[in-house]
Amino acid sequence: MPHRVVITGMGALTPLGLSVADSWRAAVAGESGIAPLESFDAAALDVRFGGEVRGFDPSQYLDRREVRRTDRFVQLAIAAADEAMNDAGLAKGDYDANRAGVSCGTGIGGIETLTEQHKTLLERGPQRVSPLFIPMMIANMAAAQVAIRFDMRGPNMTTVTACASSAHALGEAFRRVQYGEADVMLAGGAEAVLLPLCFAGFINMKALSQRNDDPATASRPFDLERDGFVMGEGAGMLVFEERERALARGAHIYAEVVGYGMTADAYHIVEPAPDGDGAARAMRAALRDAGLPPESIGYINAHATGTPKGDTGEARAVHQVFGAHAAKLAVSSTKSMTGHLLGAAGAVEAIFTVLALHEGVLPPTINLHHLDPEVDLDCVPNEARKQTVDAALTNSFGFGGQNVTLALRRTDA
């Protein structure tokens, strides 16, 4: 029999705050984490704002030597992992190290290190490139460093599927516990891409909002006047645990993970399938895996980034899957507040979905003043809503048409 899997701890650093509690409080309040960039001089760019994790001090988590030897995306992952493990009440020695693992997603990995060392190569020559360049830059290093930190010697993996990366990481962690390959999995994702090179690439793709005059209103999923996504950074980590083990140790259980679906559009390298077919199949797969009828879902945390094609494609997918029940669903995009955290988005949005179930509060879609008539959904506009739901989905879709849906259930549902 498959094992039941529950969430017993969570950690996050987002443009809304340096913890789960701070990020959730701001999300429920409908606050925006989008502001003019402070980490570098963006004057030469057409887009000069984003979702920065402000006030983060890696020396609170790592000693000075470790800070120098880790990329920012790894530092964010470690900080989120620390919070998640503390929240779960777990430390080294509380679990069989050989049956505890890490699953971490990132879309791009250590690009800050890559750009710095490339500059060193050009300006100072190959002999001055750091011998730690490769282990600081490669995408698997967040999962590796977190495993070292917590002595987790079981399953260890890194998923790199663009904006679906950390959702895939959560789904694979769920499977490892469900299939009995691990008792505990620390899973999530991290991204740190607020750099001139990344902005230039997305700007030249015409993918980003250009509302420099009012950044706080720039991220506007489902709104008729949306003009692109807003780039952000951050990390989210969750502790997945076998249910009977969690109950036996008296752990606080936030929610149960019940379904995981993944598909490919096989359509285009950046555009989603316009009919939403891939997204619809991912949602159906998650529901089937969970053994839940569509009518049992009360809330969807949408992938919706604020791009014209992406938002309408996802809305079409929701209508395909839920039919008449779509009119009774609440569907919101927390990217309206955090911006798009790329490879970390799925994990952070899973945390928001867990808390929506646990707290009975649905986070809003802010900046939604003119709902796109092609969406035709209850998008929880501008203000959070007190509402108890028994089960929810969270969607993550990546460039290349890689789609993930996770199904979560309230513990007493």
Structural contact between residues 3 and 180, judged by C-beta atoms closer than 8 angstroms = yes
Alpha carbons 56 and 19: distance in angstroms, whole number: 10
- Residues paired with residue 11 on neighbouring β-strands, in sequence order: 237
Give me 142's structure tokens.
Answer: 């967040």
Residues annotated catalytic, as ranges: 163, 303, 340
- Residues paired with residue 112 on neighbouring β-strands, in sequence order: none
DSSP 262: E
CA nearest neighbour of 355 among 106, 27, 4, 80: 27
| Residue 215 burial by Cβ neighbours in a 10 Å radius (0-12, 13-18, 19+) | buried
Other C-beta atoms lying within 10 Å of the C-beta of residue 371: 16
Q: DSSP string of 37-87?
A: --SS--TTSS--EEB--TT--GGGTS-HHHHHTS-HHHHHHHHHHHHHHHH
Residue 156: φ, ψ to 5°: -140, 125
Question: Strand 234-242 to strand 184-191: parallel, antiparallel, or no bridges (unpaired)?
Answer: antiparallel
